[in-house]
């Protein structure tokens, strides 16, 4: 008899504790809810269609695997060796035409950086690391990450930079050079695109009373 | 149509012309044949009878449960119901008079029929998917009849396993305001009153958030020396006070966390505006106007469809885009990547990475509104 009541109580308690975690309003806070309902999204929504027109390549950096836009196809005069048929040192000086007259390097100071910090003077189709290893133009973020390591961490996780299309998987993120001009990377001062005349009037004249 | 339809549609015989002409000897669908159902309708609806019918139709519980009842689940006596519904009835009456007239053209009649059905439809959040489809079909047709232009409206429901969240990088925002412009264009906001959902506040470095001292209507080159910029908009609170205070349940939280408004159900009392601690809501003092070529024709019932005078509206995280997997217009327009949007329930999403790896905070967290909008710094 006693046993039965005990079992009954245990069952009821179990039932209550099980069911009380279900239903609508059980989470104390939004973070509880996020934790409680977390699972990798395999739903119907995808960004695939939105990305269909963009040439993308997949990269894996640490624990992050995602897509980035292909770059070489976007550079007008790639491949560079079509003009740079000899190493830069041999083509420099003399009366050779200056093709890159419009590029001004406004990135760190000239003691720290010059063209050769990033470009491989022997093989212009490649970039090179500070220690002289080749980097493909498509993976130029590897070059930037040598100095900008905290930005690189944020970019890998998704806190720095923009996604290419939607929020839904697969993830496609712009690389450094999609937003920053590598030769002059900081954003420029400019006028806001919007001016709210109505607010200005209200502020200057009051609300008409 | 099923019997448990939640709005009342007045059958004026417009949809069964074939049947009626068949049953009538002369075969004419309109006009002089004395036994056509059309004339019977006209005879049946003398003004008093019409009002009686309309009241019954909209509040008579013995007929169909209407919107009031769905929402409040209370019985109203006819007197008070009549008082409350007078305005609605006048519109409805206009619609029916036009519908019943034999002299008006079929377009006008169709318009009137649509107006009637729209006037007495139920609350969107209680509609079945069929009913949702019905109302957006009517709204699309109505727009076409009025402007000769087509719009594309959807009634997509929240996707499963999705909870939308937003993060804003204060150190990235430069005050360019591209987001504001993009939002106005995307969401068909009134151009005359320059309504905007997003505010960008210019604040002094080192003073923290001082909203009373911030400038949200600056016009000079940005970023200005010694200042930083932060944006606010509706934060889609998980525990939204604006929803609680609405007397007619015209605003609510959807499954994916979006706080939305049924513009046709809002009575414009502005309680929600007063209850929102974040200045998230905007009110239409006049009829919003958008030049026809600038109208964004990809619409959602709960999002950027055309509003009217005297209703509330606000940021919906671009429901018309985000329920298709796209980013909101502001996120897409931001040139510095200060805005991050995504699915809070997906551990692989970038927004989750931000929440877990950056120092994030929310505004007025102590109020317990649980905004789904986080701020962070580099
Ligand atoms: S920010 Fe304001 S309008 Fe938006 S959900 Fe919260 S209380 Fe409601
Ligand atoms: S203004 Fe509209 S949405 Fe806001 S509380 Fe009043 S009825 Fe509800």
Please check the confidence at residue A10 and state whether its pLDDT lies above 80: no
Nearest to B122 by CA among B236, B287, B262, B14: B262
Q: CA-to-CA distance for B253 and B237, rounded, in angstroms?
A: 9
Q: Is A209 part of the contact surface with chain B (CB cutoff 8 Å)?
A: no
What percent of chain B lies above the pLDDT cut of 70? 73
> What pLDDT shows up at residue B304?
95
Q: Average per-residue pLDDT in chain B?
A: 83
Asked if B138 contacts B153 with a C-beta cutoff of 8 angstroms, the reply is no
Asked if A158 contacts A167 with a C-beta cutoff of 8 angstroms, the reply is no
pTM of the entire structure? Answer: 0.78
Mean pLDDT of B313-317: 97
Please check the confidence at residue B349 and state whether its pLDDT lies above 50: yes
To test the pocket of ligand 2, the residue of B125, B283, B302, B312 to mutate (highest count of ligand atoms within 8 Å of its CB) is: B312
User: A 32-51 residues with CB below 8 A of B?
Assistant: 33-34, 37-41, 43-47, 50
Please tell me the residue having the least CA distance from ligand 2 atom 8. Answer: B246
User: A 72-101 residues with CB below 8 A of B?
Assistant: none
To test the pocket of ligand 1, the residue of B199, B231, B236 to mutate (highest count of ligand atoms within 8 Å of its CB) is: B236
Interface probe with B: pick from A68, A158, A172, A199, most Cβ of B within 10 Å: A158
> What pLDDT shows up at residue B84?
56
Q: Which of A71-75, B112-116, B117-121, B314-318 has the highest mean pLDDT?
A: B314-318
Q: Which of A8-22, A73-87, B160-174 has the highest mean pLDDT?
A: B160-174
């209507």: which residue's tokens?
B217
Mean pLDDT of B344-373: 95
Tens of pLDDT, residue by residue over B28-67, are 444 444 444 444 444 556 767 767 666 665 555 444 454 4
Higher pLDDT among residues B316 and B24, named by residue: B316
Read off the pLDDT band of B97 (50, 70, 90).
Answer: low
Please check the confidence at residue B176 and state whether its pLDDT lies above 60: yes
Nearest to B373 by CA among B166, B163, B164: B166
Point out the least confidently predicted range of A135-139, B93-97, B182-186, B339-343: B93-97
Read off the pLDDT band of A16 (50, 70, 90).
Answer: low
Q: CA-to-CA distance for A115 and A92, rounded, in angstroms?
A: 13
User: Within 13 Å, how many C-alpha atoms sit on residue A135's CB side?
Assistant: 21
ipTM: 0.82
Higher pLDDT among residues A197 and B18, named by residue: A197
Q: What share of chain A is helix, strand, coil (3-state, %, to 5)?
A: 35, 10, 55
β-partners of residue A59 are A66
CA of A206 to the centre of ligand 1 (A): 27
User: Within 13 Å, how many C-alpha atoms sit on residue B61's CB side?
Assistant: 11
Does the C-beta of B260 come closer than 6 Å to ligand 1? no
């Amino acid at each position: 008899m006693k046993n039965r009541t005990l079992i009954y109580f245990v069952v009821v308690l179990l039932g209550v504790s099980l069911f009380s975690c279900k239903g609508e309003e059980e989470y104390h806070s939004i973070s509880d809810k996020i934790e409680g309902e977390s699972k990798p999204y395999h739903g119907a929504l995808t960004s695939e269609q939105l990305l269909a027109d963009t040439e993308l390549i997949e990269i894996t950096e640490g624990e992050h695997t995602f897509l980035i836009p292909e770059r070489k196809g976007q550079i007008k005069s790639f491949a560079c060796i079509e003009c740079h048929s000899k190493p830069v040192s041999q083509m420099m000086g003399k009366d050779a035409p200056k093709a890159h007259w419009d590029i001004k390097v406004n990135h760190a100071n000239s003691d720290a950086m010059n063209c050769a910090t990033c470009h491989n003077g022997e093989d212009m189709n490649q970039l090179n690391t500070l220690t002289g290893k080749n980097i493909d133009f498509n993976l130029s973020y590897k070059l930037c990450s040598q100095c900008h390591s905290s930005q690189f961490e944020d970019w890998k996780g998704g806190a720095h930079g923009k996604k290419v299309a939607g929020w839904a998987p697969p993830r496609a993120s712009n690389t450094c050079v999609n937003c920053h001009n590598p030769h002059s990377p900081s954003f420029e001062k400019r006028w806001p695109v919007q001016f709210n005349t109505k607010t200005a009037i209200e502020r200057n004249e009051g609300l008409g009373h | 149509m099923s019997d448990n339809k939640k709005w009342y549609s007045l059958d004026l015989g417009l949809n069964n012309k074939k049947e009626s002409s068949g049953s009538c000897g002369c075969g004419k669908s309109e006009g002089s044949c004395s036994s056509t159902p059309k004339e019977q309708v006209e005879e049946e609806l003398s003004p008093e009878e019409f009002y009686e019918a309309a009241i019954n139709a909209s509040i008579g519980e013995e007929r169909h449960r209407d919107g009031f009842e769905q929402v409040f689940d209370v019985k109203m006596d006819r007197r008070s119901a009549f008082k409350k519904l007078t305005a609605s009835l006048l519109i409805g009456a206009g619609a029916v008079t036009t519908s019943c007239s034999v002299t008006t053209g079929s377009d006008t009649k169709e318009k009137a029929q649509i107006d009637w059905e729209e006037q007495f439809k139920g609350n969107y959040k209680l509609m079945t998917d069929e009913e949702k489809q019905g109302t957006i079909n009517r709204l699309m047709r109505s727009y076409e009849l009025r402007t000769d232009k087509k719009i594309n409206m959807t009634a997509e429901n929240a996707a499963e396993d999705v909870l939308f969240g937003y993060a804003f990088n204060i150190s990235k925002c430069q005050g360019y305001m591209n987001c504001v412009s993009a939002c106005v264009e995307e969401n068909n906001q009134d151009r005359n009153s320059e309504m905007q959902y997003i505010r960008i506040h210019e604040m002094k470095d080192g003073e923290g958030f001082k909203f009373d001292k911030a400038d949200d209507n600056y016009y000079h080159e940005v970023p200005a020396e010694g200042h930083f910029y932060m944006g606010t908009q509706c934060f889609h609170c998980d525990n939204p006070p604006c929803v609680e205070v609405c007397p007619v349940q015209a605003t609510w939280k959807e499954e994916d966390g979006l706080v939305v408004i049924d513009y046709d159900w809002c009575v414009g009392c502005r309680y929600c505006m007063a209850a929102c601690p974040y200045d998230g809501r905007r009110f239409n003092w006049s009829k919003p106007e958008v030049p026809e070529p600038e109208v964004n024709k990809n619409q959602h019932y709960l999002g950027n469809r055309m509003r009217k005078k005297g209703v509330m509206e606000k940021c919906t995280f671009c429901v018309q885009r985000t329920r298709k997997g796209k980013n909101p217009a502001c996120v897409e327009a931001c040139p510095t990547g200060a805005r991050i949007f995504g699915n809070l329930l997906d551990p692989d999403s970038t927004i989750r990475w931000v929440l877990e790896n950056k120092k994030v905070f929310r505004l007025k967290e102590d109020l317990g509104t649980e905004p789904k909008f986080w701020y962070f710094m580099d």
